[in-house]
Amino acid sequence: MEAQDSSIETHDLTVIYNKKPAIWNIDFLLPKGKIIGIMGPNGSGKSTLLKAIMGITEPNIGYSKIFNKPLDEVRDRVSYVPQRQSVDWDFPASVYDVVAMGRFAKLGLLKRLTEEDKHIIKDSLEKVKMAPFANRQISQLSGGQQQRVFLARAIAQRADLYLMDEPFVGVDASTEEAIINLLKSLRDEGKTLVVVHHDLHTAQHYFEWLVMMNTRLVASGPAEEVFNEQVLTDTYGGTLTTLSKVANLLQEKSFPMRHK
């Protein structure tokens, strides 16, 4: 893959917190038009990587490009969905207001919404099945509903690249299914989705490309090539043994992996 064909390019990307590296020397090219998973144990720097790419966190060393250009030149083509728990959901705003923020990202806060903008907002809500809740206060929603609203806001931006930090955390099985179907639909439209994820059991089903990391980059490539025992061991170390034991126990006892 050449740099001009990539969605994201990073070189020596390093972020240091309190004299300790959160991410160290991350160097990769990610393809366009794929659903890409970023995986690694807790504290491995996955969220920091997204924030560094988005310019939310300033890297100490290295740089990244999006669509072979600096972020500032293509910012309107990028949508970022942070972790749901990092948001103040008591902020007095309706579902419609939150999704409308996705349009103001392109328009500017002082511009009025056009009829086209309003149509895009309505369409975005319908895609995540939240149109009936348009006037509901976000604080009154369940965790899964809040996540759907966040995704609707991202869709409303009409971006080409979506960076999503743990969109499946704290949602029920039906919402998780709705989210992955939405990601596939966006992918089919030519969009690129980069998703921080933690569940090894669904990784191969959800992602076409995987980035495996533990502060440093362990591997990056097509899921069928990267998702193997050696890479998993290098990424998770002893943690992988525990995860495997739990998974085997669940299968042996026929426990459900998720509650419907």
pLDDT tops 70 at residue 26: yes
Instruction: Give the C-alpha separation, 74 to 67, whole Å.
Output: 8
pLDDT tops 80 at residue 49: yes
Beta strands of the chain (E only): which ranges?
Answer: 6-17, 20-31, 35-39, 61-66, 78-81, 161-165, 192-196, 209-214, 216-222
3-state secondary structure 182-237: HHHHHHHCCCEEEEECCCHHHHHHHCCEEEEEECEEEEEEEHHHHCCHHHHHHHHC
> Model-level pTM?
0.86
Of residues 107 and 154, more confidence is placed in 154
pLDDT tops 60 at residue 255: no
Check: CB of residue 47 under 8 Å from CB of residue 165. yes
pLDDT at residue 256, rounded to an integer: 45
pLDDT tops 50 at residue 27: yes
| pLDDT class of 245 with cuts at 50, 70, 90 | low
pLDDT at residue 215, rounded to an integer: 92
Instruction: Give the C-alpha separation, 222 to 209, whole Å.
Output: 4
What SS3 state is found at 76? helix
pLDDT at residue 90, rounded to an integer: 73
| pLDDT class of 258 with cuts at 50, 70, 90 | very low
| pLDDT class of 56 with cuts at 50, 70, 90 | very high
Q: In whole angstroms, how far apart are CA 78 and each of 75, 160, 168?
A: 5, 6, 20
Q: What integer best gives the mean pLDDT of the chain?
A: 87
pLDDT at residue 241, rounded to an integer: 55
pLDDT at residue 174, rounded to an integer: 84
Going from N- to C-terminal start, the domains of the chain cover 3-253
pLDDT tens for 109-150 read 567 888 999 999 999 999 999 999 999 998 888 888 888 898
Give the lowest-confidence range in 94-108, 171-185, 198-212: 94-108
Q: Any idea which architecture 3-253 has in CATH? A: 3-Layer(aba) Sandwich (3.40)
